[in-house]
Each structure stands twice: as C-alpha cells, then as structure tokens.
Amino acid sequence: HVVVEEYVPAAGAGVVDDGRARVVCLSARTPDRLRAYARALLDHIDRHAVYDEEDEARPEPDPTTLRELAGLAAGLVGVAAAELNPGDDLGEYGFDQVNLAQLGARVDARYDLPVDPERFAACRTLADFAAVLPSDRTGVQAITTPTVRRAPVGYDLEFARLAYTLQVGRDQMTERLAIVATSVADLRERLVRHLADDPTLDGVWTGGGAQRGVLSDLLLDGREGAEYLRVLREDGNVDKLARLWTAGVDLDWEALHAGPRPTRLPLPTYPFEPRRCWVSGRLRPDGLIDRPAGQPGTGADPAPVTEPAPALPSAPAAATADGTADQRERLYDLIAEVLGWRREEIRPDAGFEELGFTSILVHELSGRLTERFGPVPVTALFEYKTVDALARYLTALPTPAPVEV
C-alpha cells in the first residue's frame, strides 16, 4: 500500500511577521498582464481571509434565489450554472474583482436595485449575494443590514514568506510593480487602491522600459554596487530598493536577505494572455503552412535555392534609415502573422526569445523571410536577436533578382 499525504513545509527558522516593511514584486511582459497579475494576487489574498466565527452565522439562502444568481454568474466566466456551489468562493471558478463587480451590476439590474458599488463589496460567494438581497424582492425598503461577513480578522498567509516568494521565485520581466507594505492586510489595501488608480496612493511604484540593463551596469557592477545594496539593506531603505527595481535594475534579492531565509509559499503564477491559436491551412513537408487564399502569408512556394546562403554581414553600414524603417514595417507584419499577435504588441527592441519564438517558429519565420526577401539563413535570427537588428540586416541584403517565369 502507498499512503500519499500533502507536503506541508515547516516555517522558516527564525522568520516571523515582525511588522518590518518589505518589497512585494510583480512583473510581466505587458502592462495589461501586470494588472491581471495584481488582480490574481488580490483574489488569492481574499481567499485566505480569516473571519470571526460569529460572522459565519447566517440564514439559509432561498434555493430559488440561488438558482437565479447562479444563472446571472454563469455567463461571466463560462461556467455552467449547475456547477456553481452557493458556498464556494467564486474565485475558485475564475472570478476576479472585475467579474465580481460585473455580477453585482447584473444583480442590481435583475432585482431593480439602485446602483451601489459598496452593496456587494464583501461578497465572495453566491450565498453572500443572496444574503444582501431584499427578502421580498419588491423594493429597496426591504433591504436590511447585510448579514455577509464583516472585515476579516486576519489572513492565513505569512507576509515574510509571501514577499520572499515573489522576490526570488519569479522571473524579473520588463513591466514591474513594487509595493512596500508591512503586513498582508496592508498589502491588500494597497493592491485595491492601485487597481482603482488611486492618485493619492504612496508606497507603490511601477515602471519598465528600455533603461533596463543600462542602470544595472551603471549602479551595481563591482564592489561599489554590492556595497551600495548592502547599505540599503542594513538601513532598511526598502523604498529605494523598490524604486531601483521598477526603474529596470535586476536585483539579486537572494543576496539581500541576511540570516535565515523564509520558505516559499504557493502563490499565483504568471497570468498568460488568452489567445486563440487556430492553425488554418495545410502543413507542407518543409514545415511551413499553406494558408487559404485571402489570408496573410498566402503565396507560391519559394523556388528551391541551390546556391549557398549568404554570409551574415558583420556591419550593415550601407543600410539607410528609411530603408531600415521600411524593412522593419514588413518584419512587423511577418512576425505578427507567425505569432498570431497584434502588430502593435511587437516592440523594435524585443528579442525573439522574449517574443516567445520556439525552434519551430524560428524555422517558419525564416521561411517567410526567404519568400519575401530572398535567401535568409536561419542563423540570422540567432545572430540578430531583436526586430530592429534583423531589420538592419535585411536592409543590407542585396535585392534579389526577379524570378523568370
């Protein structure tokens, strides 16, 4: 027999929630995904709220009302109404703060209630929503004091472990959000205000862009940089660490922890952007795709290339600014077509690895480039690793002679 139990790690020795300010880091490839990441963390915190036992008592919800609410909620996240358990946290079904606000608006409209964003603010289950509704459904006069749970008395999350996990257990991407907080409750409040675009919010920084890497070289290389970070850590200057990180500096968070390290927590992972990736067309023996007429990328198969591929030019100095710009525009179209992205999502300084190119996609793009520009070796995509660099290389290529038919 085999007995399987959940592994419950022991708390880090000597690491406690002592009220010290810590930096909570979130990063993503785009501002939209960064915002989704912040919402996911907020939902995770709410699912770990602890309430007073007296707040759990409530009258049994009316079954008819619960069925109506399940029908209103089902369409928001693509879950069948029958699958929604009235007592389950809606976050378990994929509801985020936006979905909960949308459900509140639907409930207001269904029962002809005046719009009040605060009415359902504490609701996390269908039973919570049912408890707030008027008992006779005839008007707002019947609404009594909500019997939903009051503010939580705490959270079953250790703040030191939460901050440490997000610092050392996640990749440092371009778009960044840093929040300086002293507890889980403090972090939750700042997340709520950040997502509401509160202009008076302090202790929160965002950033990202081309300065990444340049600042790292300037500030942190060598003994001077290590000493600078040590002083910031010992002085407890977490605000400056947060500002450096959101400015693009890749900090070694592990090195900034002196003494015992906390253990990591299970936390939300990267909120990948939903994309429909349907492949239309026939897969050819060479690995490319024949697309139906009228779709981007349609064209005759390229003529076989018998001569060797040209050597990669070491310095495309002959490229003019206008020529490079034209090639870059064509390259944007090809890359968007291969990835299935929107054209505006592709930055000129983005590396192909950052854009998500696999070996298969590199092969497909190389084939498309050969169709459009003449022979382009696959190695060019490894030598010129950004859209802008590849555009300059393509500009320096000799114009292919017209093919005689």
Q: What average pLDDT does range 267-294 have in this prediction?
A: 66
Q: Is a pLDDT exceeding 60 seen at residue 405? A: no
Q: Is a pLDDT exceeding 70 seen at residue 361? A: yes
Query: What's the confidence (pLDDT) of residue 167?
Result: 93
Q: Is a pLDDT exceeding 90 seen at residue 180? A: yes
**What is the percent of the chain where pLDDT is above 70?**
72
- Quickly list DSSP for 279-319: --SEE-TTS-EEPPTTSTT--PPPPPP-SPPPPPPS--TT-
Pairing of strands 175-181, 204-207: antiparallel
**Poorest-pLDDT segment among 168-182, 188-202, 379-393:** 379-393
Query: What's the confidence (pLDDT) of residue 147?
Result: 44
**What residue type is 295 in one-letter code?**
Q
Q: What average pLDDT does range 82-100 have in this prediction?
A: 84
Q: Is a pLDDT exceeding 60 seen at residue 205? A: yes
Which positions ≥6 away from 119 have C-beta within 8 Å? 104, 108, 113, 132, 146
pLDDT tens per residue across span 55-81: 555 556 678 888 889 999 988 888 888
pLDDT tens per residue across span 138-163: 443 333 334 444 667 888 899 999 99
Query: What's the confidence (pLDDT) of residue 203?
Result: 93
Query: What's the confidence (pLDDT) of residue 292?
Result: 56
Query: What's the confidence (pLDDT) of residue 373?
Result: 81
pTM above 0.85, yes or no: no
| Confidence tier at 255 by pLDDT (50, 70, 90) | confident
Q: Is a pLDDT exceeding 50 seen at residue 195? A: yes
| Confidence tier at 27 by pLDDT (50, 70, 90) | very high
Q: Is a pLDDT exceeding 50 seen at residue 30? A: yes
Q: What average pLDDT does range 127-141 have in this prediction?
A: 63
| Confidence tier at 374 by pLDDT (50, 70, 90) | confident
Q: What average pLDDT does range 275-299 have in this prediction?
A: 57
Task: State both tokens at 263.
Answer: 């253990």
| Confidence tier at 115 by pLDDT (50, 70, 90) | low
Query: What's the confidence (pLDDT) of residue 276?
Result: 59
| Confidence tier at 302 by pLDDT (50, 70, 90) | very low
Query: What's the confidence (pLDDT) of residue 76?
Result: 87
The whole-chain average pLDDT of the chain stands at 76
Domains of the chain: 22-34+163-256 (1.10.1240.100), 52-142 (1.10.1200.10), 282-396 (1.10.1200.10)
Backbone angles phi, psi at 179, to 5 degrees: -125, 125
Q: How far is CA 398 from CA 146, 302, 345, 401, 402, in A?
A: 74, 17, 29, 9, 12
Q: Is a pLDDT exceeding 80 seen at residue 389? A: yes
Query: What's the confidence (pLDDT) of residue 321?
Result: 47
Per the DSSP assignment, residues forming a β-bridge with 176 are 27, 207
